Amino acid sequence: MVSRDDTEFLALLVHRGLILRDVAERVFPELQKGAALDELLVHHTGLSAETISRWRRTRGGEIPEIPGYEILGKAGSGGTADVFRVREKKAQRVIALKVLNVESTRNTKTRSAFASEARLLEKLRHKGLVEGYGVFKSGNTYFSKMEFIEGHTLLELLDDGHTFDEKAALRVVLGAAEVLTYLASQNIIHRDIKPGNIMISSAGELKLIDLGFAGRSDEAPAESDTTVGTVHYLSPEQARGGATADERSDIYSLGVTLFHLVVGRLPFESSDDREVLRMQVMQSLKSPELKSRGLSHQLQYFIEKMMAKDLEARYQSWQELIDDVRQQIEGRESLDFEKQIRERAAKRR
């Protein structure tokens, strides 16, 4: 009888492209007759027993083996890289390793962008940014070292059904805007603001993560003929493709994020990315939820001004946005405080 572990391992190797499907089909009948899978793989692929053993240990290369680091668990996964929580043996500290996946490692441009992001993060220092400790290579594995943050991204919270009231959502916008003000002071545009790139730590601190698309505000994206960023959060000028973004583009993306937090869905939705891009450029913002959920007129104003199609009608700087949002938060807290005083006074009567 074939063990479940062997069946799953064989399927994993095919899925990860480490062996061809026809090889697995030749191996499986012999496996059913009682032959040892590892020996069969060595015989049918010509690979060494050590290679097969390493694939066993690492789930077909899914879990990296990097000297000096103990893998404690997988913390996240993206299109080009995976993030692992590890113990750095020499320093005896827990950090995060962002490891470029095998397919991306073969792409020269992706490797270069990965290294650029790590070096950029290493130079920046702000309480709202994950600290970067450099980029490295071990064998054929490219990885960067970063501060490990215990917590969840806004997207994870949304996917888990967490709801954000107006006050909580505005505090997210204020925290993100303060980090992005710092980036702007360094002449850096993030270009990929979205709930998946904003993390709330277990201590309640906001952290902006993933600078993979970040660049100078006075330069066009490297891939000038394509859009850069995540389709559903792109500003109209980015959606047109090849546009040089400035901080107002990030303001638009943060506006989409604010909409997502308080409404629970995206403002422009379609299974076709090209249709979403068309909506970002052409379609006016319409959401009955903004009016039906008891959200303040001020919040509606923030969203509409942050997501204005016309660059000149949008907030022109992070400071302008921060001043407006902070005033709204402080005003709400003042009203809440006054309400509490009135309620306490009423109870004493």
pLDDT for position 225: 39
Closest CA to 248 of 184, 336, 179: 184
Band (42; pLDDT cuts 50, 70, 90):
very high
Closest CA to 189 of 233, 251, 135, 122: 251
Structurally, the chain folds into a number of domains equal to 3
Cβ neighbour number for residue 17 with a 10 Å cutoff? 12
Backbone angles phi, psi at 218, to 5 degrees: -100, 15
CATH code for position 104:
3.30.200.20
Statement: the pTM of the whole predicted model exceeds 0.85: no
CATH code for position 325:
1.10.510.10
Q: Are residues 193 and 208 in the same domain?
A: yes
* Residue-wise pLDDT tens digits, 44-74: 999 999 999 989 998 888 889 999 999 999 9
Q: Is residue 140 part of a domain?
A: yes
Q: Are residues 157 and 299 in the same domain?
A: yes
Q: Residue 206 and residue 208: Cα distance in Å, rounded?
A: 7
Per the model's pLDDT, the better-predicted residue between 332 and 301 turns out to be 301
In this model, does residue 271 exceed pLDDT 70?
no
Q: Are residues 180 and 299 in the same domain?
A: yes
Strands 151-153 and 93-100: unpaired
Q: Is residue 210 part of a domain?
A: yes
Q: Is residue 64 part of a domain?
A: no
Which residue is associated with the tokens 């003000």? 181
Q: Are residues 182 and 318 in the same domain?
A: yes
* Residue-wise pLDDT tens digits, 292-328: 667 888 999 999 899 998 899 999 999 999 999 999 9
Q: Are residues 252 and 317 in the same domain?
A: yes
Structure tokens at 31: 């496996």
Q: Is residue 345 part of a domain?
A: no
Per the model's pLDDT, the better-predicted residue between 216 and 84 turns out to be 84
Backbone angles phi, psi at 119, to 5 degrees: -70, -35
Q: Is residue 235 part of a domain?
A: yes
Q: Are residues 119 and 199 in the same domain?
A: no
Q: Are residues 106 and 155 in the same domain?
A: no
* Residue after which a domain boundary falls, among 116, 147, 178: 147
Q: Are residues 226 and 321 in the same domain?
A: yes
Catalogue the active-site residues: 192
* Residue-wise pLDDT tens digits, 273-283: 677 667 666 56
Residues 289 and 297 sit within 8 Å (Cβ to Cβ):
no
> DSSP assignment, residue 227?
-
Mean pLDDT of 244-259: 91
In this model, does residue 217 exceed pLDDT 70?
no
Q: Is residue 183 part of a domain?
A: yes
Q: Are residues 53 and 117 in the same domain?
A: no
Structure tokens at 38: 């590892």
Q: Which residues pair with 215 in a beta bridge?
A: 189
Residues 154 and 200 sit within 8 Å (Cβ to Cβ):
yes
Q: Are residues 231 and 140 in the same domain?
A: no
Could you tell me the residue range of the domain that residue 323 belongs to? Answer: 151-335
The count of residues in the chain is 349
Residues 307 and 259 sit within 8 Å (Cβ to Cβ):
yes
Q: Are residues 251 and 321 in the same domain?
A: yes
Structure tokens at 310: 């016309």
pLDDT for position 224: 42
Q: Are residues 190 and 280 in the same domain?
A: yes
Band (159; pLDDT cuts 50, 70, 90):
very high
In this model, does residue 14 exceed pLDDT 50?
yes
Residues 254 and 171 sit within 8 Å (Cβ to Cβ):
no
Count H helices and E strands in the chain, helices first. 14, 10
Q: Residue 207 and residue 72: Cα distance in Å, rounded?
A: 22
Per the model's pLDDT, the better-predicted residue between 289 and 202 turns out to be 202
Q: Is residue 310 part of a domain?
A: yes
* Residue after which a domain boundary falls, among 98, 129, 147: 147
Q: Which residues pair with 147 in a beta bridge?
A: 95
Greatest distance between any 2 Cα atoms in the chain: 89
Q: Is residue 343 part of a domain?
A: no
pLDDT for position 337: 45
